[in-house]
Structure 1
Amino acid sequence: MRTSADATGRVWFITGASRGLGRAFAEAALSAGDRVAVAARTVAPLEELAAAHPGRVLPLGVDVTDREAVFAAVAEAVGRFGRLDVVVNNAGTLSMGMVEEFTEAEARAQLDVNFFGALWVCQAVMPVLRAQGSGHLVQVSSIAALGGFPSTGLYSASKFALEGLSEALAAEAVTFGAKVSILQPGGYWTDLYTAMHSTSPLEAYAPLRKKLAEQFAEGSVDSDPKLAAAALLTLVDSEEPPLRLLLGSMVYDLAFDIARTRMATWEAWEQVSRAAEHAIPGPATAVEEAAAELGQGNP
């Protein structure tokens, strides 16, 4: 069931809203009659959206890697609309390359946006959600968080980190009446791939790159971002939203395949796993017991 803060609808705060999924999310929220604070590094598309929806859109030029700027943007959104009902951590970038190929700067840049940028948003909005005793924070993850794949190691690392953070945050936020959900989308027609960064390739990986290129040439399943936006609206309308929501048949099937493979491996190695655990007294306890025995005259 849909819930609204008041007659003017809910208030959203969406990062990475100038294009792709973020833009689709913003347009869906506006179509639902809500108000939206849209944040992105590129402001012009946000201003166009604001002009098309007078009084209902707050455009914010924000680089999510700038913690102070993120906090200022959240404060401005709350100052304008009075509250936050749905926060969508959507801003992200994609860096492709084999793990060995990444420079330190490239690796840090990938984590700065996808993980630390999302962290700053979480830290900025949580005081607001806590004070309200309500709100829904949606973290946009990826199919890459289901497992690591050749050439997406650092991207996967950033999304794995985001999901670990989000699980912990969900358990913390619920004590204040706030909710956290993780979206795990498959392919959508955005400019994520055309705007991606690629590492300088090492010749040693040429055969693997050729194999990957052949696999990609077979085609991929990419959908209209509006479908993801429709799923997001269903998610935030739910009174009991899930911690994770898979978006797309391909990612749904892959998630189950990966889970089954992991479970089969765990079962095959069960004896080794269980043999690695046998409780013993802690060092301090052992010393105390030995001292007690000596005090009683035991050899």
Structure 2
Amino acid sequence: MDSKKVWFVTGASQGLGLHLVKKLLDSGYWVAATSRNKQALIESVGKKNEDFLPMAMDLVQNTSVKQSIEEAIAHFGTIDVVVNNAGYSQIGTLEELTDREARNNYDVNVFGALNVIRNVAPFLRAQQSGHIFNISSIGGYVGNFAGFGVYCSTKFAVAGLTEALSEEMKPFGVHTTLVYPGYFRTSFLSKGSVKTPSNPIDTYKAARDMEQAHLNDIDGNQPNDPEKAAEVLMHLSEQENPPVHFFMGEDAYQYAGMKIEAIQKAMENNKVLGTSTGF
């Protein structure tokens, strides 16, 4: 393990990002970590030193992202591994969410990641090496959760752009990995992290039931350990040929397997009709 690689981690003041940053520092890596609240990072991890650079960054502002990446490179001399981890879950049916609620979720989950990619890619290309992790969700592969359509669609978008990014960066020796985590026991579903609709429609019983299940039952009882997730990401970064698609957690494997089976069945049942369009 090259323990002196430089990691750039977004959304690092809580959740999976915080666990990852702590594990990286304990393992001897150099870490540049960003959050909207720099003080929260310092209180959770520690003050700036030769190994750790905490930064306040507004993910949805391209200028702020550019400045943070340049600051990290000025401090450490390079960036080797990028983790686009920042994001949040916006609950609500497609009808009840306002335009602003939906766009805000896309601004952070999709366009925020794009801002990071846009500004870090020139450095990775120039050094002909690096690894970009884009953290999606099992909800970026399986979207049949009532009340989570907008959130899932942001993660589907991350999946789509990551597949293209892997092909674009491959000629420059830069690896790209799309991570689909299942449910991890972090603050992701806690109040202050997850957002609920400002104008809920009670008629959507399935969506309300799904919402309450996540907020009251799943939160605090998630089956996966974020400490182990951090270790997994570190192992992936050390692989000579890391995967483009990586499902993380037994639940992620179960959900993905059910969708693959359903798609294969639908394709087989409709193969004659579906392939009848040629000249």
Q: Which has the larger radius of gyration?
A: 1
- Aligned residue in 2 for 1:76: 71
Decide whether the 8 Å contact of 1:64 with 1:70 is kept in 2: yes
Amino acid at match of 1:176: F
| 1:24–1:229 CA contact under 8 A, matched in 2 | yes
By how many angstroms is 1:190 displaced? 1.6
Q: Secondary structure at the match of 2:107?
A: helix
Q: Which deviations, in whole Å up to 9, do the C-alpha atoms of 1:170-194 show, x marking residues without a partner?
A: 0000111101001111111222111
Q: By how many angstroms is 1:211 displaced?
A: 6.7
Q: Is the 8 A contact 1:10 1:34 kept in 2?
A: yes
Q: 1:9 aligns with which of 4, 23, 26?
A: 4
Q: 2:137 is matched with which residue: 133, 142, 149?
A: 142
Residue correspondence of structure 1 range 266-277 to structure 2 within 5 A: 266-277=267-278
Unaligned runs of 5+ in 1: 279-299
Which of 16, 20, 23 in structure 1 is aligned with 2:18?
A: 23
Alignment of 1:186-201 (within 5 A): 186-194=182-190, 195-199=193-197, 200-201=199-200
- The TM-score, its normalising length taken from structure 2, stands at 0.92
Aligned to 1:47: 42
TM-score (norm. length: structure 1): 0.86
Tell me by how many angstroms 1:54 deviates. Answer: 3.1
| Alpha-carbon distance change, 259 to 207 in structure 1, aligned in 2, over 3 angstroms | closer
CA, structure 1 residues 159+79, in 2 after alignment: closer, same or farther (shift >3 Å)?
A: same
One-letter amino acid of the structure 2 residue matched with residue 33 of structure 1: G
Q: Contact 1:137 / 1:180 at 8 angstroms: preserved in 2?
A: yes
| Cα 1:111–1:206 shift into 2, 3 Å | same
Q: Retained in 1: the 8 A contact 2:96–2:201?
A: yes
Count residues in correspondence: 272
Counterpart in 1 of 2:105?
110
Separation in 2, partners of 1:97, 1:20: 22
Matched-pair identity in %: 35
CA-to-partner distance for each residue in 1:214-243, whole Å, 9 max, x for gaps?
698775533331011011111101111001
Which portions of structure 1, spanning 4 or more consecutive aligned residues, are displaced by more than 6 angstroms? Answer: 214-218
Q: CA RMSD in A?
A: 1.8
Supply the distance in 2 between the matched residues of 1:211 and 1:184 (Cα, whole angstroms): 20
SS of residue matched to 1:58: strand
Residue equivalent to 1:96: 91
1:131-182 CA distances to partner (integer Å, 9 max, x unpaired)? 0000000001101012211111000010000110000000000111101001
**2: CA distance, partners of 1:108 / 1:117:** 12
